[in-house]
Structure 1
Amino acid sequence: MMLLPMYVHPLVDPDAWDALCRTAERPTAIVNVHDGPGAGRDEVYAVATARLQRFGVRMLGYVDLGYGNRANGEVWCDIVGWAQYPVGGIFFDQVPSDAAGLRYVTQVVRAVRGSVVLNPGTRPLPGYAALADVVCTFEGPWESYVDASVAAESGYGLPDGRDWPNAAHLVYGVPAERLGTATALLLSRASHGLVTDLKAPLPYHGLPSSLRERAAAR
């Protein structure tokens, strides 16, 4: 499954949102109105997400856990807020990865109806794997991902080169000419994720060039 954080506003890059409706890859788009669903229904996002739904694009709503520092009530309000949009679950970002955060995450995921994706951005304790459909065990730049020694040290490398069955890797800053190589490497390590040529500090502010180009060719 391709996870695609879609953090660019529909009015800022309408071509990117349109391309999502036309691409054959059918990624799961992570929608982020305003660090979550926002304080109220945003009609621009309501129209944009309804169009994605008509074209069969699966979506998850973004919720920030602040590495376990956000109050449960705030998190639950965000989860409920996503009911205003046609999302099929929640993408939890900035998820803690230690023992202290495990109980916290266990509590907040209970409020979700639908799919759950956790993004600690690194390999968390094994108990986190059972709490979600997908766990993002790596998020970082291509330079870190491609180096096997760095991969092993970062905690997501396994003896056979594969990660957890439900692991995802989010890799950004990939040179455009290496996107195919990067995709093959990711698929050799994990079943889910994303490779994009967009760079920090805004690696998810649009579509990878390869995805945009393939959609334009359809």
Structure 2
Amino acid sequence: MMLLPLYVHPLVDPEAWDALPRGGACWTIVNVHNGPGAGRDEVYAAATDRLHAAGVKMLGYVDLGYGGRANGEVWCDIVGWAQYPVGGIFFDQAPSDAAGLAYVTQVVRAVRGAVVLNPGTRCLPGYAALADVVCTFEGPWESYTALAPAGRDWANAAHLVYGVPAARLGEASALLLTRAQHGLVTDLAAPLPYEGVPSSLRARAAAR
């Protein structure tokens, strides 16, 4: 399954929002303002309602600050996403060590729907049991190709790979699929690799 963080406002890049895959092959991660924001954003509400009606699956973004955010703040963000038609929560900057395991165990209990954790690196196996998907790699293409071959990752692991040369997106997708069941390859690069969609999705949308 594709995991597609989309951290651009619908009015800033409407073409990116129109290019999102329909159906069950992709989870799009939406992010109003480092989470659901302080109140309902009517532009986001209209955009997400339209996508939901078209069959686009969405997750709401919640930052865990690597375990540094108070549970109450995290729960407020989870509740805030009830204003939008999301099917679960994408927990960014999740901890990956033993100290953070109890913290994550508590916060995921508040979620009704899918749970995706993004520590962005390999974490303790206990985290795999807490989520539908765990992102065990997030980084640039150069780092991804430099990884030593280690066989296939956990069954529910995902890899997020950015900065892929556009001409090598097919190669990158094939490599990812040998390593993980879920993830993303995009030619957008740091520091803002998720402010839009990969060029391959734009091209596919233009050909519809």
Taking structure 2 as the reference length, the TM-score comes to 0.97
Measure the CA separation in 1 of the matches of 2:67 and 2:59: 20
Return the offset for 1:81. Answer: 0.2
For 1:18, the equivalent position in structure 2 comes to 18
Q: The residue matched to 1:20 in structure 2 has which SS?
A: coil
* CA spacing shift, 1:169–1:96, aligned 2, 3 Å: same
For 1:191, the equivalent position in structure 2 comes to 181
Alignment of 1:1-218 (within 5 A): 1-20=1-20, 26-147=25-146, 151-152=147-148, 158=150, 161-218=151-208
Measure the CA separation in 1 of the matches of 2:171 and 2:206: 22
* CA spacing shift, 1:113–1:163, aligned 2, 3 Å: same
Return the offset for 1:27. Answer: 2.1
Measure the CA separation in 2 of the matches of 1:25 and 1:74: 30
Query: What RMSD over aligned residues (CA atoms) do the two structures have, in Å?
Result: 1.2
Kindly, what percent of the aligned residue pairs are identical?
82
- Aligned 8 A contact 1:133 1:166 in 2: yes
Per-residue CA deviation, residues 125-158 of structure 1 (Å, 9 max, x unaligned), is: 01000000000000000000012xxx24xxxx53
- Aligned 8 A contact 2:3 2:26 in 1: yes
* CA spacing shift, 1:77–1:24, aligned 2, 3 Å: closer
Structure 2: which amino acid aligns with 1:9?
H
Structure 2: which amino acid aligns with 1:185?
L
Taking structure 1 as the reference length, the TM-score comes to 0.93
- Aligned 8 A contact 1:28 1:60 in 2: yes
Count of matched residue positions in the alignment of Structure 1 and Structure 2: 208
Return the offset for 1:19. Answer: 1.7
- Aligned 8 A contact 1:121 1:136 in 2: yes
**For structure 2, which runs of at least 5 residues remain unmatched after alignment?**
none
**For structure 1, which runs of at least 5 residues remain unmatched after alignment?**
none
- Aligned 8 A contact 1:119 1:136 in 2: yes
Structure 2: which amino acid aligns with 1:142?
W
Per-residue CA deviation, residues 14-61 of structure 1 (Å, 9 max, x unaligned), is: 11111226x688521000000000000000000000011011000000
> Runs ≥4 in structure 1, deviation > 6 angstroms?
none
Measure the CA separation in 1 of the matches of 2:111 and 2:63: 14
Measure the CA separation in 1 of the matches of 2:93 and 2:112: 20
Structure 1: which amino acid aligns with 2:18?
D
